[in-house]
Amino acid sequence: MDEPGEPLLGLENFFDEDVDLENLPLEDVFEQLNTSQSGLSSADAAERLKLFGANRLEEKRENKIIKFLSFMWNPLSWVMEAAAVMALVLANGGSQGTDWEDFLGIVCLLIINSTISFIEENNAGDAAAALMARLALKTKVLRDEQWQELDASTLVPGDIISIRLGDIVPADARLLEGDPLKIDQSALTGESLPVTKRTGDIVFTGSTCKHGEIEAVVIATGIHSFFGKAAHLVDSTEVVGHFQKVLTSIGNFCICSIAIGAIVEVIIMFPIQHRSYRDGINNVLVLLIGGIPIAMPTVLSVTLAIGSHHLSQQGAITKRMTAIEEMAGMDVLCCDKTGTLTLNHLTVDKNLIEVFSREMDREMIILLAARASRVENQDAIDMAIINMLADPKEARSSITEVHFLPFNPVDKRTAITYVDSDGNWFRVSKGAPEQILSLCYNKDDISEKVQLIIDRFAERGLRSLAVAYQEVPEKSKHGHGGPWVFCGLLPLFDPPRHDSADTIRRALDLGVCVKMITGDHLAIAKETGRRLGMGTNMYPSASLFGRHGDGGGAAVPVEELVEKADGFAGVFPEHKYEIVRMIQGGGGHVCGMTGDGVNDAPALKKADIGIAVSDATDAARGAADIVLTEPGLSVIVSAVLTSRAIFQRMKNYTIYAVSITIRIVIGFVLLASIWEYDFPPFMVLIIAILNDGTIMTISKDRVKPSPSPDSWKLNEIFAAGVVIGTYLALVTVLFYWTVTRTTFFESHFKVRSLKQNSDEISSAMYLQVSIISQALIFVTRSQGLSFLERPGALLICAFILAQLVATLIAVYATISFASISAIGWGWAGVIWLYSLVFYAPLDLIKIAVRYTLSGEAWNLLFDRKERLRRQRAAAGDQVAALPSSSSSTTEGAFRSSPQQRMAAYADRGASQATGRNRQIGRCTYAESACAICDETEACGF
């Protein structure tokens, strides 16, 4: 075979049907690709990368002009465009010319809004691309005869790669010598079950390794792969998400409100008042221009994008933007114990190792366990075992490895077949005690002793690792071998993270119930729960669901036990999906789920928020909505707070947008209908343009996150918008009445009368509407009294600048086509005072609306931070005082029938519910007062 260097297969004949790399014998594949099992050199790989291109699909380049114009193509923009057509065509009547001023103003408003949207979305897109680059697929490649972890995009035909459990296959490849793989290629072929792939078979880009470990030679990358070719034949499908549906609902509400107002106005103005044609068109234009929240899609999208960037800075990369709003509403979090609640830095206490074979000592058990470990592996257990040796090379010294069985979540063990220096064949396995014990010939004789030691370890918070060996007289890696001999048990200690207890307490304060999910023994789960203050009401999942999720004949509904449980032990992969499903269905909870392995993918997909922890497999990261780059639970709780702040900004703006629509519709319909007052459309345009500039800053506003899970409650948004908008409309109507029908301002503030000058009245009305419209954002952005919650500096500056411009226009501007005339500083001061007076009740109206809708809004008036800080310590003491293993009945249930076990757990669950009543969203203590609210009866916490 030629040395790698000059590829025989060029790009020009890569698609030659005579060169079928999928079906050629492996020897011919190596020859055609001019490579070997030693892989490529870096120089050769660089040359091939130039020839074949990066291992990625071609991104569809969007025309910038079309993208810019697309921001003018949505229902809200359509209404503005209809207004422009009305100003250009329909307004040409009543002995007056075309309304060019309003037409050009509307066009300018659309262009300004589209420009802001275009720039912000480009910035957000660049930021998202940078974030996704951090999630770029990595793969192990043999380059320069050394294994390296490189970006999958650098792969070229001829590379030798390693595929293992949880990996997403990075390129089309042919499998080399090794054990069969289980490959999930449902994303490509639709097959629901994994398929077995053996030496010589092809695996396709995008498929997932479900079982096994093997090397492969890359035969196709990027657009030349099976997936790349198929992608060219498929058009992308736009899926309408929940966030888009919310936008549509709010937009439709505003459009319908404007339509109703326009119809009422037309009916009154023409048949009843017999107004001129041009007056009618102008009044309808006022409703269309002022009532449509044209900036809403941009404001909300930019808020999400900026929020996503903030989350990434905290160690949580968002793959799906709308997961942010779901994270804000999460009230249950199912999290792994290992690595999330604990450090996943395992240590072995050599003095506690239990020896079961007379032929061995503790040193020999450690050596056998090390042989059943991957020396180069980063697995925490393997590293803990290897570190027990004086020299890691001892694990493979004087033996020849024949075959290695990697760990998988179902078998829960590893195994090595090797030949020692005397030519004898052995097989050693280490893993979960129940799995290792089931292999051994004397399991019935030693099972009770093994269980007692496991329980003793577990009571001290130690995990157990079992080791066994067998001789292989057949001298074949496929030989069944002799009887397995149980060697011993090693205790593993995984200390809790220093911040886990405080973080769990923070989560509970935020209304998020944290449930532990672990594959460890029940006693370990209880001890960890006791130490962290999570509670000890935990169940072994095999007893809840049966080994295959059959429920085990529960006396109490399994859904109820799952909802009330603090955690689950002995969890198998299929149980995680069932746990999530029951939590979602039982109480309609928004459930988050953490995971790191390929078998966690279904549960991550099923959960409302799938969270892949740091160092998760490619499959878990692919199935998750959020990928963590930092370990621990604190990252998730911080992400919850940030998500609630982001959601609060979006909710604040939607209430503001609905309120403005209602105030414009009701206010100007009343003015036109009662007093035949015609507000100039051009001035509404000025208000809209100034508002757009100001309201964009809300995406970076400082807000107070909700203390409880939040979600889109459209009825609440619409109700608040209607009430506040109606109030503002009546304030404007009252102002007009006071100016035109009374002498109140003239007599009390010594300003000149405006009654005889309609242009001056329009200037005064313009300033009043502008001030109160923009000031409203300070009310909707706050939970309690607006003057107690400081807004962001950017929002304050934007408001001051916009209102300075508005005030100067009213004071000095005289524009004939806009029908306004300067009113001077005296009237400007009166209008500001009037607006401030009627601004004050807005907070009370807001709180009254929330109180009416939820019954809890009065609590928003009180800041309980100090009280919570004082009482949180008491809550920790109460939790720590809970017994670590309060139910001997439960411990004995391990050796009973499924029906007896379920009865025992039901009895224990009932007693705990009576004594503690710890339920999701509730924290009631029967014996003493609730540590949060001091109530001895059922409380809202």
Q: Supply the residues annotated as catalytic.
A: 336
| Residue of 765, 677, 662, 818 whose CA lies nearest to 269 | 677
| Residue of 759, 780, 769, 905 whose CA lies nearest to 834 | 769
Q: Which helix (H) or strand (E) holds 732?
A: helix 714-741
Q: Which amino acid is at 538?
A: M
| Residue of 251, 265, 337 whose CA lies nearest to 76 | 251
Q: Tokens 């001298």 sit at which residue?
A: 475
Spatial CB neighbours of 718, under 8 Å, sequence gap ≥ 6: 253, 658
| Residue of 478, 507, 684 whose CA lies nearest to 592 | 507
- Provide the sign of the torsion angle of the four alpha carbons 869, 870, 873, 877, taken in this order: negative
Q: CA-CA distance, 777 to 846, in Å (whole number)?
A: 12
- Provide the sign of the torsion angle of the four alpha carbons 484, 486, 490, 492, taken in this order: positive
DSSP annotation of 59 reads: P
Rounded-to-10 torsion of CA 331, 337, 343, 347 = 170
Spatial CB neighbours of 807, under 8 Å, sequence gap ≥ 6: 767, 828, 832
Q: CA-CA distance, 433 to 451, in Å (whole number)?
A: 9
Q: CA-CA distance, 291 to 661, in Å (whole number)?
A: 4
DSSP annotation of 815 reads: B
Q: CA-CA distance, 217 to 36, in Å (whole number)?
A: 9
DSSP annotation of 710 reads: -
Our CA angle for 192, 195, 196, nearest 5°, is 165
Our CA angle for 490, 494, 495, nearest 5°, is 140
Q: CA-CA distance, 45 to 51, in Å (whole number)?
A: 10
Q: Which amino acid is at 532?
A: L
Q: CA-CA distance, 675 to 88, in Å (whole number)?
A: 27
Which letter, b or e, does each residue of 331-344 get, where b requires 16 or more Cβ atoms within 10 Å of its Cβ? bbbbbbbbbbbbbb
Q: CA-CA distance, 302 to 314, in Å (whole number)?
A: 19
Q: CA-CA distance, 89 to 103, in Å (whole number)?
A: 10
Beta bridge partners of 414: 430
What's the start-to-end Cα distance of the chain, in Å?
Answer: 73
Displacement of CA 725 from its chain's centroid (Å): 34
